[in-house]
Structure formats: C-alpha cells, structure tokens
Amino acid sequence: MIVIDDGKMCDICGMQTAIILCDGCGKPLCKECRHFDLWSYGCGHIDPKVFCLTCLNDIEINPWGGKRL
Ligand SMILES: [Zn+2]
Ligand SMILES: [Zn+2]
C-alpha cells in the first residue's frame, strides 16, 4: 500500500482527492474508489492490498480475489 498526500485527484472518479495508489496499476485513488483486499500467504502472514475496481477483478493482478474469465 502506498499512501499519498500530494493533492492529486482520483484517477477513477476525478471528483475527490486521491489518498492512496492502486497496488496494481499505480493510479491514484480516493477513499470511495479504493478497494481493500487481504492476501494471506499461509502461516498467518496477511498482506493488505489496495486496488482500483479494474485491478481488483483482474486475475493477473489479483490472483486471490480476481475472477477467472
Ligand atoms: Zn475516486
Ligand atoms: Zn488499478
């Protein structure tokens, strides 16, 4: 997760200030457009990820939460 605070606008809706970068495509996302996902690697290790909706559903980017087409 990459938190940003440089006043960029959200790349998805363009309406709100972005607060974080998508872990897939790197686009700035506002709090309305970010989607959290948790990747667990067994042995109790969980890695929180933030994605835009496109990356969230992309199996290539998000193998844990994406949909196979
Ligand atoms: Zn947005
Ligand atoms: Zn993305």
42 CA distance to ligand 2 middle (Å): 25
43 CA distance to ligand 2 middle (Å): 27
pLDDT value of residue 68: 67
In sequence order, which ranges of 1-69 are alpha helices (DSSP H)?
Answer: 53-56
**Which residues in the chain land under pLDDT 70?**
68-69
- In terms of phi and psi (left: phi > 0; alpha: psi -120 to 50; beta: otherwise), the region of 7 is left
pLDDT value of residue 17: 97
pLDDT value of residue 69: 61
61 CA distance to ligand 2 middle (Å): 9
pLDDT value of residue 57: 93
Q: Is 34 exposed, middle or buried (0-12, 13-18, 19+ CB in 10 A)?
A: buried
pLDDT value of residue 24: 96
pTM: 0.85
